[in-house]
Amino acid sequence: MIAEVYDALLSAGADDEKARAAAKAIAEYNRDISELRSNLALLKWMVGFNLAFTMAILWKVFS
């Protein structure tokens, strides 16, 4: 749960349980986004390696 979001929702007049549930949902969403970013970084490395390896093979074949 993100305490800042929880406090902001409470000060805005939201119900305690609704504020807690919303803060937990936002925290889970942030965790999912960070997981996707790490997977994207891995995919970028894989594509880069594949491109470099393919270019090396093409260089060797055609030169």
Per-residue pLDDT tens over the stretch 14-45: 999 999 998 898 888 888 888 899 999 999 99
- What's the angle, vertex CA 37, arms to CA 54 and CA 42, rounded to 5? 30
Token pair belonging to 48? 């880069």
Stated as kind and residue range, the H or E segment containing 44 is helix 16-62
Number of compact structural domains in the chain = 1
Question: What tokens does 43 get?
Answer: 């995919």
Among 5-9, 44-48, 53-57, the range scoring the smallest mean pLDDT is: 5-9
Backbone phi, psi, residue 14, to 5°: -75, 155
| Domain span including residue 56 | 3-62
User: Which amino acid would we find at residue 31?
Assistant: R
